[in-house]
Homo-oligomer: A and B are copies of this chain.
Amino acid sequence: MAKIKGWNPEIKRQKILNSAIQILNRKEYYQCPIDEIAKNAGVAKGTVYLYFKNKEDIYFSVLINLIDKVIDIAENVQKNDLPAKKQLFLLLQRISNFIDTYRHLFLSIRQEVKPPKEKLHDAFHRKIGELIKAISAIIESGVKKKELKSYPGIVLATIFLSLTSVIAHQKIEVGKHKIQQIDISPELLFKIFMEGIER
C-alpha cells in the first residue's frame, strides 16, 4: 500500500515529543513511564518505539527540542537591529518567560552531565554548543560595537546562560509557601551582569 498522501511521520513524532515534554516537565525521568507518555500522546506504547530508539532517546530528544526553542528565541532576538545590550536584556526576559513554562526541564538541561549512552549525549552537547553560539553571536556583536567589554563571546554566553537559572529557581514553591522570599527580577539580574557589584 502506498503511503497515504500527506502522511508525515514527523507529525506523530512531534506529538509524542510534546507529550513527553509535558510529562517530563512534571516529574523526574524515572517517574515517567513510557506508557504514560504514550497515553498522553494518544498512541500505544509500541508506537513510541517506532519513533524513538528507547527511553533515553526520548529524553534527550526532549531536551534538544527545548534547547532548539531557546535557540529560536536567541535568533529571533538577534534579527532586531537593537543595540546588543537591549538584545541581551530582551533575551533574558524571553528566556525568563520560557522558564515559567518549562522550569523543571530547563533545570534538567543545566544539570545534565553524566550520560550512560555516549551517542545521545553527544548530540545533546552539540545542541548546547549551538545555543551558546547563538547567544554568543549577540554578545560578540556587542563587543564589536564596543558596547561590551571584549571578553570571548562563548565565555560570556556561558555565564549568561548560568544566570538564567537564577530565574528558574525563583518562585519555586515548597509545601504551600515560597521558600525563597527574594524575587530577583530580570532587570536586577541584568544590571548586575552589566555593571558588576564592585563599588
Contacts and interface: CB of A to CB of B under 8 A. Distances in A.
Most buried by B among A125, A194, A196: A196
A196 to B, nearest CB: 3
Nearest to A118: B175
A152 interface: yes
Instruction: Say whether chain A's binding surface is mostly helix, strand, loop, or mixed.
Output: helix
Contacts of A67: none
B166 A159 contact: yes
Interface in A86-134: 103-104, 107-108, 110-111, 113-116, 118, 121-122, 125, 128-129, 132
Interface stretch (A33-41, A71-79, A181-189): A181-189
A155 B129 contact: no
A90 to B, nearest CB: 16
Contact of A30 (B30, B103, B149, B179): B30
A199 to B, nearest CB: 5
Nearest to A148: B197
A129 B182 CA distance: 11
A174 B27 contact: no
Contact of A110 (B110, B148, B192): B110
Interface centre among A116, A129, A166 (most CB of B within 10 A): A166
Interface of A: 26-31, 85, 103-104, 107-108, 110-111, 113-116, 118, 121-122, 125, 128-129, 132, 146-149, 151-152, 154-156, 158-159, 162-163, 165-166, 169, 172, 174-175, 179-180, 182, 184, 188-189, 192-199
Given A30-B30, A121-B174, 19 more contacts: A29-B30, A85-B198, A107-B110, A107-B111, A110-B110, A110-B111, A110-B169, A125-B179, A129-B180, A149-B197, A151-B197, A152-B182, A162-B162, A162-B163, A162-B165, A162-B169, A192-B196, A194-B196, A194-B197
